[in-house]
Structure formats: C-alpha cells, structure tokens
Amino acid sequence: MADKQKPEIVSMYFDPLDAALVRSNDQEWIDSGSGNLFKILRVSKETGAWSALIKAPAGQVNQAHTHLGPADFYVLSGQIDYRGGSAKAGDYIYEPAGAVHEATTHPVETIYLANVYGPVAFHGKDGTIAGVLDWRAVKAMMDAHAQKKGKAA
C-alpha cells in the first residue's frame, strides 16, 4: 500500500500592484462638477482605464462626446437615453473607440457602472473639443475630494 502524504500547503501570493477590493457602499459620492456624482472604484495609471459608479440626477444631460478609447456601462437603476436607444436597469452598453454621439440624457435618477478604457473628449457647442475626461482627471477629482474631506475633519 502506497504511503499517503499530506498535500503541501502553499501560501497564497497577493499581487499588490493593482489588486483591489472596493467597498463602494462605504464610499461617499464625489461631485464631478458636471452634475454627475462619482464613486471611483479604480484608476490605472498604466493603462489609462478607470471604473466608477456614476449617479446622474433626473434631467442630467452629458454633452456630446467622442470615446477615444472603448468603454462599457451597466445600468443599475434608472435610464440612459443615447444614440443607441434607451438603456434601463439591467442593460449593458458598449462603446468602441472612436464612437461619437450627441448628448446623453437621464430622464430619471440613474446609477450605472462605467468602465472606461481611454479618454473621453467632450464637444463644445461649436463641435471642437471642450474638455477631456481621462484617468488623470478622475484621479484629480478623487484627490481633491480626499483633500477637502481632510480639511473638513
């Protein structure tokens, strides 16, 4: 009869580079300055990607924009009206790099998960680029909130 051996216990290795567990229920909403509120889940300096929960108040209009990198969105509650139609709770949206569309509206308060893999260029009324939302802008929003909260404490 073969000698039975105990399996070797191997310690787990945790990758500290970019692994994360985010308790979004413990986060405060951050005012983006555009009408939307953010709970920033992740920002990658390496790839430029960022993920956030976004809360848009009823009637919020996000100006026309071009996705310079792909993005995907999952609607948790509410409704997003955009060139592709109306996305409601449970709906998933994918925008490829280069996708251009007119203003996006939220007829009711809406919360959605945004995974953005590159900058978003917002158009001015004349069609030129009026602003860019990229990982640096999202990180700056997060840092400004933390600093403000630190000063208030």
Mean pLDDT by 10 residues, the chain (153 residues): 55 63 92 95 93 98 95 98 93 95 94 97 92 95 90 52
Output the CA angle 85-115-43, nearest 5 degrees.
155
Give the per-residue pLDDT at 15.
59
Inside any domain, residue 12:
no
**Residue closest to 132 by CA, chosen among 41, 63, 31:** 63
Give the per-residue pLDDT at 17.
66
Inside any domain, residue 97:
yes
Inside any domain, residue 6:
no
Q: Are strands 30-31 and 85-88 parallel, antiparallel or unpaired?
A: unpaired
Amino acid of residue 135: W
Inside any domain, residue 47:
yes
What's the CA gap between 135 and 40, in Å, rounded? 11
Inside any domain, residue 102:
yes
What's the CA gap between 131 and 149, in Å, rounded? 26
Q: How many domains does the structure of the chain reveal?
A: 1
CATH of the domain at 131: 2.60.120.10
Inside any domain, residue 9:
no
Give the per-residue pLDDT at 120.
96
Amino acid of residue 128: T
Inside any domain, residue 14:
no
Query: What domain range is 144 assigned to?
Result: 28-152
Inside any domain, residue 23:
no
Give the per-residue pLDDT at 21.
82
Give the per-residue pLDDT at 50.
96
State pLDDT tens for residues 64-83.
999 999 999 999 999 999 98
